[in-house]
Structure 1
Amino acid sequence: MRYLNLALLILFPIAWFAPLLRAALLPIFGMDEISVITGLQSLWDTDPALALLVTFLAIFAPYAKTIGLALLHWNLLSPKTLPALNLLGKLAMADVFLISIYIVLVKGVGMVTIETGWGLYLFTGCILASILISWRSKPDAGQP
């Protein structure tokens, strides 16, 4: 599990720059690819408070959890921190739900074309892998 967790330190940044979705106002126009990073850049211009929230949910929470689990796996962090790390993982999953709600809402408009990109699956997979790793990292009840 510890090496899979270390792989997430590489996969998360790839997922942040990978296309989450492609969107166009009408199908006849070219599609714009949206990633976590391009979405954040746009948000910082229009709504800094929401951008701060999404930055925390999409970037800080999953990466901090991954680093915390790595420290835990190499006995550099107390197992008592695992509940806090689990909370960070759940907060990171909220970002996936935000993206999903956005896709559902925009698809309902009818004039906008939305296609999911491979980055959405990579980002979701990274979050789910992180949750699985933290679940499997629970200390044994007999350990001090």
Structure 2
Amino acid sequence: MITALRLTNLSLLILFPIAWFAPLMRAGLLPLFGLSEISIVSGLQSLWDTDVALALLVTFLAIFAPYMKVIGLALIQFGMMRRKVLPALEWLGKLAMADVFLIALYIVIVKGAGHVTVETGWGLYLFTFCVLASLAISHLTRKR
């Protein structure tokens, strides 16, 4: 069981970066004008030009928090860090989940706007899977 947890956790080191560049959604003004794909990275690039404080927050929530959690869990699982750190790592995972809720909220708000077309992309599902898998791995690691 511990080997499966370790491998699953280490696989997140590959899956998270894929999720950051994968299309979270396709959005555009009416479907006639075509839809542009938006990923976490492209969204962050746009945010840096308009709102630096929000860009810093989203960068921490979407990139640093989940990755630090995965690395911290790996260090615990391989006996290189004390288990006392686990509650802090679980807290980081919850912060990353907040990012998924923000993205979902933006999609719902924009869809209600009327003249804008928004379609969810596979990257949203991958990012959500990565965050939920990380939460499950930390919970199962705590039980060991």
TM-score norm. by structure 2 comes to: 0.96
The count of residues paired between Structure 1 and Structure 2 equals 140
What is aligned with 1:123? Answer: 127
Unaligned runs of 5+ in 1: none
Q: 1:73 aligns with which of 51, 72, 77?
A: 77
Matches within 5 A, 1:106-121: 106-121=110-125
After superposition, the C-alpha distances for 1:22-54 in whole angstroms (9 at most, x for unaligned) are 001111011100000000000000000000000
Out of 24, 27, 30, the residue aligned to residue 23 of structure 1 is 27
2:92 to 81, 88, 91: 88
Residue 57 (structure 2) aligned to one of 36, 53, 56: 53
* Structure 1 vs Structure 2 CA RMSD: 0.7
Structure 2: state its 5+ residue gaps.
none
Normalized against structure 1, the TM-score is what? 0.96
Give the secondary-structure state (helix, strand or coil) at the position aligned to 1:137. Answer: helix
Q: Does the residue aligned with 2:33 lie in a helix, a strand or coil?
A: coil
Structure with more helix by fraction? 2
The one-letter amino acid paired with 1:80 is K
* Structure 2 CA distance for aligned equivalents of residues 71 and 56 of structure 1: 20
Matched-pair identity in %: 70
